[in-house]
Structure 1
Amino acid sequence: MKFLFDIFPVILFFLTFKLYDIFIATAVAIVAAIAQIGWLWLRKQQIEKMMWINLAIIVVLGGATLLAQDETFIKWKPTVLYWLIASVLLVSSLVFRKNLIKLMLEKQIVLPVAVWDKLNLSWTVFFLLMGAVNLYVAFSFSVDIWVTFKLFGATGMMLVFIILQVMVLGKHLKPMPERIQTVNEQDNLIEKIDNKAGKK
């Protein structure tokens, strides 16, 4: 459900483009991005920083597209977002010695430091490639093909990459201490119940 919520503006962008044109679709995408954050704010839910960044980019580049009536600006939007994410991951790792992927996921999984570093690097490279692929499709094919790729192609690439990440990380995953404790407590409880049942 969260996945559909996250790509909600992209879905509306695609549908509006198919019904009207790139400029109306751009305006709808801007409104959808604003509504997305507004919905979370009204429900007093946490708004991720990436959503604010995405909103800022689409407002600036989408607004430029509408003002100039030039689709070039909105075509750059995914690439700017992807390359910005890649830059943040890379700079945080090299300059500030902080692995942002680890900070986001360390409460869910436990991995060796070397694996965390490789994971951070793989996401950095992936977003750099995604940005390059977007530019290639945007300026080598028709607007219709680019809009279709934006929803199905880019989303599909993201899902495939995540699945591959999970498959590769599977052998490195370690159970969290809390989970181990819970399992041990359950085993002890079952053992006590069995012992009492045996005595009876």
Structure 2
Amino acid sequence: MQDKNSWLFSPSSLNLSQLFFLLTRRYIFKINYQRFLKLWGMYWRYLVSLVVLLILSATLDNQFGLLDGTAYTSFKPTIVWASIAIVLSLFALVQNKGLPYVFLGYRLSLNNSVWIKFNKILISFFITLSLLNYVVYMFAGLEFWKVYKLFGQTSLLIIFPLFGVWWVYYPYKQTK
């Protein structure tokens, strides 16, 4: 008789999501595989939304020179993060579930409150990232800002939404 978790003990059949699940289940979260798949689904939808918005902002800047009037290079990330927050806010007015839901979010079968909370977290995250970029540049100096922009913003863009997804989804599953 084969155990339903037999893939945990067969290294040759592990794929990336199963390995990530194994590590997070063992060390970080005590969740089952179905909950993990929903968390991971919300997270990759955030990543796809971010990539689409960054490509859109880069294309608009290249075609129309929207950021050419900015005298300092350091204000460009501030403008980009603020514009992403504005686009997410405008998209929430059109569809209350937000932009990450558009990328096959219906397949996760989560209720509207989870998607609305996740969208609000993303909007507040990008506003905070924009303000943080401005504050770091104005008060910390150019050299520290360069390090922050390279490592700090990248780390925040990857790590914070993962915890945001978990924070939004965890109470949802406790009440069901």
Aligned to 1:53: 57
Q: Report the CA distance between 1:150 and its aligned residue.
A: 0.5
Distance 1:158 1:136 in 2: 17
The answer for unaligned runs of 5 or more in structure 1 is 1-46, 174-200
8 Å CA contact retained: 1:86, 1:124 = yes
Aligned to 2:149: 150
Change (3 A) 1:108 1:58: farther
Consecutive aligned runs of 4 or more in structure 1 exceeding 2 Å deviation = 47-50, 54-65, 107-110, 165-173
8 Å CA contact retained: 2:53, 2:84 = no
Distance 1:83 1:137 in 2: 15
TM-score of the pair, normalised by structure 1: 0.51
Distance 1:144 1:108 in 2: 45
Aligned to 2:25: none
Q: Report the CA distance between 1:163 and its aligned residue.
A: 2.3
Aligned to 1:124: 123
Q: What is the correspondence of 1:167-186 to structure 2 with a 5 Å cutoff?
A: 167-171=166-170, 172=172
Q: What is the correspondence of 1:107-118 to structure 2 with a 5 Å cutoff?
A: 109-118=108-117
Aligned to 2:134: 135
8 Å CA contact retained: 2:89, 2:123 = yes
Measured on the aligned residues, the alpha-carbon RMSD in Å equals 2.7
TM-score of the pair, normalised by structure 2: 0.57
8 Å CA contact retained: 1:138, 1:146 = yes
CA shift digits 1:84-119 (9 cap, x unpaired): 11111112213x234212113505633210110000
The answer for unaligned runs of 5 or more in structure 2 is 1-50
Higher relative contact order (CA 8 A, sep 6+): 2
CA shift digits 1:108-142 (9 cap, x unpaired): 63321011000011100000000000000111122
8 Å CA contact retained: 2:118, 2:165 = no
How many corresponding residue pairs? 120
Aligned to 1:97: 95
Q: Which has the larger radius of gyration?
A: 1
1:77 aligns with 2:76: yes
Distance 1:144 1:62 in 2: 22
Change (3 A) 1:140 1:55: farther
SS of the residue 1:111 aligns to: coil
Distance 1:137 1:49 in 2: 23
Change (3 A) 1:50 1:105: farther
8 Å CA contact retained: 2:122, 2:161 = no
